[in-house]
Amino acid sequence: MKRILRKLPLYLANLIIALTLLSLFGWVVRESAKGKQWVPHNVSRTITFFTTLPDRLVIAKEAVERLPLVYVPSPENFEPVNTLEEDVNVLISYANANWKRTIAIKNLRTGEELKTWHVDRLANPHNRIMHSLMLPDSSIIYSLNGVTGLIKIDKNSERLWKQDTIAHHHAINMGANGTFWANTYTKDNGEHIYYGAKFSIDGREFPFIDNTITQFDAETGRILYHKSVTEILIENDLTHLLIKSDSPGDPLHINDVQPVLTDSDLMKIGDVFISSRTSSWIMHYRPSTGEVIELIEGPFMSQHDVDIESDSTIIFFNNGGQTLKGERPDQHRLGKNLIVVDEQFSGIQRYYLQTGKFEHVEQPVFNENQIFSFTESLVDELPSGGYFIEEQNSSVLWVVKDGEVLYKNILESQHEGHHHLANWGRLMP
């Protein structure tokens, strides 16, 4: 007993030290969570690693138990439609195994795969191959949705180069003179998504993710042009667009950079059309001068996939929904006589550059078939008329023309009850 009493002060001293260290650790965790600038980045990352370990173990357990996210549940009682009289060839990608992907040119009319490429070196079973671009020699440029950079393979699926000094996001589009353009992020200490800019309102700071646009040499992957979108806004007195977004941490979220390939009165070779999802604007930008030729805003929301239709028109997929999916408000009672607005669906928009007018394209088909996609999606115009549509969230593929559905189907997978997630297919000539 005396022995225990003699050691009691030592026990109490050790307990006080332990509680002090624990309190200090908890305080640093709290300050790190607040984003305090005085906390060194390495310290913050180490703390985050340890404090989120249980969460990551739970996520890892769930990931093992579920299918990779490249599969989506198939609609019940799904009825495909195929009355195509002409071939419609689309460059698609899908998972042939958890760690392997296939890129294929698929004829929607016959269901035949005309050519395939194989990618077997995935590090994550959930990775998607996004918006593959085929060059004239049948080589492919692609990236993974894990924002890993850009990769080029030859016609036999052998890797030719990997460009990972930047991180890629979403669209890839062929440019003039053997170049291509992509939405990108600048890397910082090896990281690709970080708060690279900030704006302030009333003394409050809002750090946000900057986006960049990049032009590459398609032969070598070398960067030819690289520009911050935030800098474009600053240089053209357009920073108010950052405040209009409903996502202050990600107010740009560029999803398409569409290059101009021919000169006309309204656009020049080298110009690009930039699409911002979270702020719902499209920008006609001239990299050669740094000038914003036109900022396009209007009756659309969270749009994707801008295409140059003619020398005076563009078309794009109008998702038609808020960037941040809000829940039904319930803090106020409902009135006795509600004014009911028609249900909203996605659609195709045409914009006339010369007049500034908008036109809905095939909207009755979207309404009748309840076509809606909260994120992503695209539209490509067929040479003979009509449109190929990717309804991304449900991953249903459509071909519509003159108010009729000519094709409606999903990419069936090897897992019963699930089909392949759509990954921004590309209409082929």
Q: Where are the domains of the chain?
A: 1-66, 78-322+344-427
Please write the tens of the pLDDT for every residue from 281-297.
999 999 999 999 999 99
pLDDT of the residue at 8: 67
pLDDT of the residue at 37: 57
pLDDT of the residue at 55: 63
Please write the tens of the pLDDT for every residue from 358-407.
999 999 999 999 999 999 999 999 999 999 999 999 999 999 999 999 99
Query: For residue 107, what are its two tokens?
Result: 């004829």
Supply the angle between the helices 2-33 and 41-51 in degrees, to the nearest 10: 110
pLDDT of the residue at 184: 94
Fold of 78-322+344-427: Methylamine Dehydrogenase; Chain H (2.130.10)
Which parts of the chain sit beneath pLDDT 70? 1-13, 26-65, 146-147, 190, 192, 326
CA dihedral in degrees (84, 87, 90, 92; nearest 10)? 80
pLDDT of the residue at 429: 87
Query: Could you write out the three-class secondary structure of the chain?
Result: CHHHHHHHHHHHHHHHHHHHHHHHHHHHHHHHHCCCCCCCHHHHHHHHHHHCHHHHHHHHHHHHHCCCCCEEECCCCCCCEECCCCCCEEEEEEEEECCEEEEEEEECCCCCEEEEEEECCCCCCCCCEEEEEECCCCCEEEEECCCCCEEEECCCCCEEEEECCEEEEEEEEECCCCEEEEEEEECECCECCCEEEEEEECCEEEEEECCEEEEEECCCCCEEEEEEHHHHHHHCCCCHHHHHCCCCCCCCCEEEEEECCCCCCCCCCCCEEEEECCCCEEEEEECCCCEEEEEECCCCCCCEEEEECCCCEEEEEECCCCCCCCCCCCCCCCCCCCCCCCCCCCEEEEEECCCCCEEEECHHHHHHCCCCCCCCCEEEECCCCCEEEEECCCCEEEEEECCEEEEEECCECCCCCEEECCCCCEECC
Q: What is the CA radius of gyration of the chain?
A: 25
pLDDT of the residue at 334: 85
pLDDT of the residue at 17: 76
Model confidence, pTM: 0.83
pLDDT more than 90, % of the chain: 71
pLDDT of the residue at 60: 46
pLDDT of the residue at 54: 62
